[in-house]
C-alpha cells in the first residue's frame, strides 16, 4: 500500500523520447478491446465505407456518439460528409467487417445486401444496428479527425448474434464463455 503522499512510480514525460512514447501508445491501444462498426456515407464518387473500432456513446439526450477516422480515401470523404450511417456489427458480420477494413477490397458488392437511402447514405441490411447520424463536430487531432454525431434515426436489424470485439489484431466473440463473475 502507498499513501497519497509517498513517492511512487512516475509517468515518464514524452519529450524525453517521443518515438518511445509513440511505440508504447500503439502497444497500449493494441491491447485495449473495442466493439466494431462499419461507417458509411455518400461519397463524392459513390458510396464509401470503413471499419472503425472507435465508436462510443456520448449522450443519450439527445442521442449522440463519437468516432475518429484517419488516412485513406474513405476517411477523407467521410470527414467531408454531413451525414453518415454507423452500423454496429456482430460476430456474424465478420466477413463484411473485414471487407471494409481491407485497403482496396471491394466493399459495395452483390455479396451482401445493401441499398442507398433517399438521403444518399448506403445502408448495410445485415447490421444488427444502423444509426443514421448528422456529423455535428469535426475536431482535427494530429492527422485524424474526431467526430461527434447526433443520431437522427435507428434501424434495429434482425438476429443480433454474438457481439464482436477487436483486440490485438484479432477478433473475439462474447458470450457465456467469456463472462467473468
In the window 66-85, what residues touch a copy of itself (CB under 8 A)? 66-68, 70, 85
> Which range of residues in 72-80, 98-106, 162-170 is near a copy of itself by CB under 8 A?
162-170
Between CA 102 and CA 23 the distance in angstroms is: 23
Counting contacts by CB under 8 A, is residue 50 touching a copy of itself? no
Min separation Cβ 4 and a copy of itself, Å: 5
Between CA 40 and CA 131 the distance in angstroms is: 10
- Taking CB under 8 A as the criterion, the residue among 72, 80, 82, 167 binding a copy of itself is 167
List binders of a copy of itself among 97-136 (CB under 8 A): 108, 110-118, 122-123, 125, 128-132, 136
Tallying the residues shown for the chain, one arrives at 181
Counting contacts by CB under 8 A, is residue 35 touching a copy of itself? yes
> Which range of residues in 74-82, 98-106, 143-151 is near a copy of itself by CB under 8 A?
143-151
Are the beta carbons of 135 and 79 closer than 8 angstroms? no
Work out the burial of residue 105: count CB atoms within 10 Å of its CB; fewer than 13 is exposed, 13-18 middle, 19 or more buried. Answer: exposed
Sign of CA dihedral 107, 96, 48, 159: positive
Amino acid at each position: 500500500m502507498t499513501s497519497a503522499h509517498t513517492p511512487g512510480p512516475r509517468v515518464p514525460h514524452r519529450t524525453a523520447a517521443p518515438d518511445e512514447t509513440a511505440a508504447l501508445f500503439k502497444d497500449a491501444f493494441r491491447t485495449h478491446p473495442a466493439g466494431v462498426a462499419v461507417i458509411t456515407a455518400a461519397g463524392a464518387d459513390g458510396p464509401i465505407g470503413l471499419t472503425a473500432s472507435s465508436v462510443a456513446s456520448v449522450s443519450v439526450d439527445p442521442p449522440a456518439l463519437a468516432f475518429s477516422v484517419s488516412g485513406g480515401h474513405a476517411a477523407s470523404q467521410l470527414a467531408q460528409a454531413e451525414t453518415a450511417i454507423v452500423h454496429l456489427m456482430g460476430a456474424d458480420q465478420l466477413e463484411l467487417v473485414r471487407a471494409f477494413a481491407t485497403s482496396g477490397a471491394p466493399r459495395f458488392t452483390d455479396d451482401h445486401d445493401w441499398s442507398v437511402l433517399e438521403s444518399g447514405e448506403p445502408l448495410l441490411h445485415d447490421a444488427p444496428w444502423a444509426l443514421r447520424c448528422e456529423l455535428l463536430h469535426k475536431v482535427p487531432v494530429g492527422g485524424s479527425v474526431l467526430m461527434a454525431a447526433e443520431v437522427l434515426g435507428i434501424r434495429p436489424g434482425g438476429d443480433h448474434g454474438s457481439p464482436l470485439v477487436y483486440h490485438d489484431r484479432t477478433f473475439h466473440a462474447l458470450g457465456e464463455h467469456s463472462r467473468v463473475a
